[in-house]
Amino acid sequence: MTNQTKLTIGVFDSGFGGLTVLRALLPLIPASHYIYLGDTARLPYGSKSRETIARYAVESAKFLHAQGADLLVIACNTATALALPDLQQALPIPVIGVIQPGAEAALAASSPSSRTLVLATAATVQSHAYAEALTALGLHATEKACPLLVPLVEEGWTNHPVTDEVLKIYLNEALAAAPNAETLLLGCTHYPLLEPAIRRTLANLNHPLTIIDSADATARATAKAVRRHFPNAAAAAQPTCTFYATDSVEKFQRLGSAFLGHPLGEVHLLDLGG
């Protein structure tokens, strides 16, 4: 990037859940070009080993860097939890994850020493990245793996009786393990798409909780990094976006447009190998 030119921000997720982070970034850092990559062909990351997640995430991140990204946002909790140090080591640009901003958002919404219930993929839960980040901030954490939620979101079933039933089972189990939880942290970038269904299910279980997601907090952390690393970036311009998916561009376009509230435009098909 040269002085006063538009900053290019790479945004990466295993699917289109990371659009929740892109949606928060657009109004906060409008004078940027965004390159979004959803590694849909290799999703879900959340049921894979640390080595595989790190390899996929580093390959995806290197692609975004090669496309001109000046800074990278890992809009995927699983990739952040399992591979943030690998990504920061592999790339010569600032790399921002979602876990620390998510934990800080939980802190801001919680009373001191209270318990946060974290819903996340199996890999994120096994890494205990959230428990560590929340404990370091003086909070207690109970983590619950919800492996069926990502496929339901990727199917577009965000408002569907099957999803409601699955949520009821997961939330009942989670609340039995953490009856005194005060906040519910959505530890997967796909889950904000289920927020109305989660809210509805909690109301039916007569157990309302404050729901937190890391998208806004991650966007704020990114804005701070932009000010620090790129003080001369252009301040006024409309955002522009380029989208890549590694599978089914039509589905990405359809579900992603509905979610962002405007057409995504062309989605490029990308082959990152197996």
The catalytic residues are 76, 188
CB of 48 to ligand DGL, least distance (A): 8
Name which of 233 and 249 has its Cβ closer to ligand DGL: 249
Name which of 46 and 178 has its Cβ closer to ligand DGL: 46
Residue nearest to ligand DGL (CB): 46
Name which of 8 and 121 has its Cβ closer to ligand DGL: 121
How many whole angstroms separate alpha carbon 251 and alpha carbon 193? 16
DSSP string, 36-70: EEE-TTT---TTS-HHHHHHHHHHHHHHHHHTT-S
Look at residues 99, 105, 102 and name the one whose alpha carbon lies nearest to residue 123: 99
How many whole angstroms separate alpha carbon 59 and alpha carbon 61? 6
Give me the amino acid identity at 220: R
Cross-strand pairs, 71: 9
Give me the amino acid identity at 158: T
CB of 214 to ligand DGL, least distance (A): 9
Name which of 85 and 208 has its Cβ closer to ligand DGL: 85
Look at residues 109, 84, 13 and name the one whose alpha carbon lies nearest to residue 23: 13
CB of 72 to ligand DGL, least distance (A): 15
Report the interface residues with ligand DGL, using CB under 6 A: 13-15, 17, 43-46, 76-78, 121, 124, 150, 188-190
CB of 237 to ligand DGL, least distance (A): 29
Asked if residues 139 and 116 have their Cβ atoms less than 8 Å apart, the reply is yes
